[in-house]
Structure formats: structure tokens, C-alpha cells
Chains A and B, each alone.
Chain A
Amino acid sequence: MNKQLTFLMCSPRGEKSASHSIGFYLTSLFEEKGISVNSFSVYQTLKIQEEIEEMIISINESDIILISSPLYIDQAPYMTIKTMNIITDSFQQGKISKKERHLFAISNAGYLEYYHNNIALKIYEQFAKENEIIWAGGLPIGAAGTHAQYPIPEFLKMLEPLPKEDPRHEIYTKPTKLLDSVIRTSVDHLCKGEIVPKEELQKLEFVPMPLEAYIEGGNNGWLEAAEKLGTTDKLRDKPYER
């Protein structure tokens, strides 16, 4: 019988999010390898009891659980925690049976540095441990907003025509190719029922550009967004000042 995977997409931003873009990239790779995938967008799922039950049934039947979630203030947002609590309760109520089941997580930070995700990933690991799920590892992704705008395969295609000496290869092409390679290797291991080796995941532990360059780009982005809304002069307002 084919292996089954339950994908929990945990961003409130839906299709506009890095959690969606990267998560569904992984599920497409799993499907290519014959894994059957059920996906749940938890912000929608948790609104309807029948859909929660469907999610629990799917997890019960799954060999792999994949979580893709943004990072909000150093850990996953509310709805991701609530989802984990619902799953834990379902284990305790016997709605999910114990069997060899792996958890793999993707944590997506808006900050450039990957390590902002470290605590969130440790929390997923504890969630796995509490429910006797095998922790297969996680991807600590920094500057995740890039992948929200440009899914990995499209992004690599966009960068391909740039001249070899273009500096964007160093800050975009190289890290994205590496991320793609780590993702593919992770999928291979998970399909074989293996955890992803730490050395593989540690390949993502680097900062691809100077912090100042990322800050400049990010801050210009906020200014452009504010300009469109006519709020540039309000960005530093202090509405709740004592």
C-alpha cells in the first residue's frame, strides 16, 4: 500500500504565504514519488468540526505529518499551537492510533537569519515526542518572504538568465539551489521511512547576505507599501503612548 502524508498548512495568509509555497512544493515532490497526500489549511479547517475530524482521520492513516508554518514572535502562531493541541487530544482519546509515524516541519521566518526558527523547531520536536511521533527534523528557513512571492522552481528559472558574474547568484541562486537540494534529499529520506540526517539540515545554517543589505531591501519594501496607502508619515505613530 502507498504511504500517506498529511500536510498541515499553518499560515493565515493562505496562498500568498511562504508556508503554502514551500509546503506545496514538498507535497508535489512526495506525490511524484507515489506518496498519497491530504492537505489541510488549518485556518480554514479549524472553523468546521467535520473538517477537523477529517484531518484527524487523515493523520491516523498517515505515515508522515508535514507542518509548514510561519514564525510569529519566536514560535509558531496561535492556530498552529491549537492544531497541535487538537492532535494531542486526539491521541489521548484514542482517535489516532500509535504507529510508526514521522513528523517533518518547515518553519518560515521573515528575518534573514535561519536561526530565529530554532526554538519553533524544538517545540515541534517536543510535540512529536509527547505523542510518540518520530521527529524527522525541520527546515529553518530565513527570508521566507522571497519564497512567498516566488515558488522555488519558478524562482530558479527566473534567475537562470542572469549573467554568471551577477551578484544575485550569490545571494539568491546559490541559497535557493541549496534549499532545493536539502528539500529533495529530505523527501527522499522521508519516503524511505527515515529521519532526515542532521548534517543535511545543517546545510541551511548560513546567512546568505550582509544583514544591512537585507535591512535596506526590507525597509524600502515597507516604505513602498506605505506610499501606496498614503501612510508614509504615519509609520512611526505611537497610538498607545501613555
Chain B
Amino acid sequence: MSYVILNGMYKDDSFIPRVNKMVSEELQRSNYAGDTVILHDKEIKPCLGCFKCWVQTPGICIIDDYGREVAKRMIQSDVLVYITPINYGGYSAELKKALDRSIGLLSPFFRVHEKEIHHETRYNEYPNLVVIGTLEKPNAEQEEIFTSLVKRNVLNLFSEKYSSQVIYNDDDNTTITKKIERSLAIVGEGNE
């Protein structure tokens, strides 16, 4: 079983590297093989909104940079992990830059899914999704938005199993470990 962690931290973040390390170790303990992509280290240009990944070069972004590799790694993993500082309740700009470039993983065609319009799948299988957000301190409103965002993302990414978790910067290692274990257990077994 394979995993990829998309790490959406900003350059000056000193907390997320610790969380990332603990997530990687837990995944490896559970016999997953994979690695982390530190997104701010990669050359990824912003999505042009051109939809050429849907109609001109179906499934492949026309921008030839690491954004293509991210999309490929996403769809080829069994477990996809996002780690991001929570920005106003949503994902970091760094994570979002990579995700915006991944829409070619879906078909352009629309369909009704869960009584709403969504895109059709391009692939037969999509990875299970674990999303870990970090906050300096508890923030009920932003945490609720973050949890809802992950749920909405799953409707668009077609993950069979998913979990979302918020970790605070002042959580101790035991708490962080428990939160990570809980998140990974959900995608490893039954869903929440």
C-alpha cells in the first residue's frame, strides 16, 4: 500500500515538520510505503483556469512543471494525506496551488452524485484521504469550516474513506500521536 503526503506548510512554519514526521512514521509502522512532498520547495505554477486538462490534453495539465507530478502522485497513491496550516478555515495557499492543478484527475463531464452536480470520475479508483490541519489554538468556527471543506472535497475527489483532524500547536506529542492514529485508523478500516 502506498501513500503520499502533500505538505502545504509555509516556509517559516516550525510546527508542521514535527507533525509530518509523526504522520510518516505512523504510516510506515502500518506498512505503507511513500514519502512527503514539501510543496513550497517545488516549482508549481498557479492553475490558469483554461480547462485544457479536460479538453485539449485530457488528464494532463498543459503546464509542464511539478504540478503534473503532484497530480500523478495523488491518483497513484492508496492514501493521500494533506497537511496544512488552517487559513481562515480553509487550506494554505501552498496546498491549494497544488490542488488547483489536479482537476484533470476528474472528467470534464458532469453527473448527479449525492443529489448534486459533480464531475464524473476519470479513474476507476481514487485514494483514501486524510487531511490534517494545524491551528495555533482552538477556533470552533474555523474548525467547523475545515471539517465541512474536507467533506465537500471528498464528494469531488471520490475517496471511499476519509478523515479530517485538527492539531493545535501546543498539543503534546501523546495527543498528536493519538489524533494521527485515529485519522489513519479511519481510512484503514471503516469510515467516520
Do A and B come together as binding partners?
A: yes
CB B20 to nearest CB in A, in angstroms, measures: 20
- Identify whether the interface residues of B are mostly helix, strand, loop, or mixed: mixed
B30 within 8 A of A: no
Whether B97 sits at the interface, judged by CB under 8 Å, is: yes
Given the contacts A43-B46, A239-B60, A78 and B96 also touching, CB distance less than 8 Å: yes
CB pair A234–B54 under 8 Å, yes or no, is no
A78, B93: Cβ atoms under 8 Å? yes
Per the bound structure, the CA–CA distance linking A222 and B91 in Å amounts to: 29
From B92, B103, B108, B145, give the contact of A122 (CB < 8 A): B145
**Most chain-A CB neighbours within 10 Å: which of B71, B90, B97?**
B90
Residues in A whose Cβ lies below 8 Å from that of B55:
222, 225-226, 229, 231, 235
Which segment of A23-31, A81-89, A197-205 sits at the interface?
Answer: A81-89
Q: Select one of A17, A130, A237, A239 contacting B88, CB under 8 A.
A: A130
**Chain A residues within 8 Å of B123, by CB:** 238, 240-241
**Residue of B whose beta carbon sits closest to that of A124:** B88
> What's the dominant secondary structure at chain A's contact region?
helix
**Contact segment of A157-165, A179-187, A212-220:** A212-220
Is A192 part of the contact surface with B, judged by Cβ < 8 Å?
Answer: no
Chain B residue with Cβ nearest A214: B117
When the two chains form the complex, which single residue of A17, A129, A219 contacts B110, counting CB atoms closer than 8 Å? A219
Q: Which of A103-126 contact B (CB under 8 A)?
A: 111-113, 116, 119-120, 122-124, 126
Contact of A123 among B54, B89, B116 (CB under 8 A): B89
Q: Kindly list the 5 A-B residue pairs having the minimum CB-CB distance in the complex, ordered from nearest.
A: A126-B88, A78-B97, A81-B93, A239-B59, A74-B152
For the A-B complex with A73-B156, A238-B124 known, give 10 more contacts whose Cβ atoms are closer than 8 Å. A72-B49, A72-B100, A73-B99, A77-B100, A78-B47, A79-B46, A119-B148, A126-B88, A222-B55, A240-B76
Name 13 A/B residue pairs within 8 A (Cβ), A-sorted: A13-B49, A73-B100, A75-B90, A78-B97, A79-B46, A81-B90, A113-B117, A119-B89, A122-B145, A123-B88, A215-B117, A235-B54, A242-B75
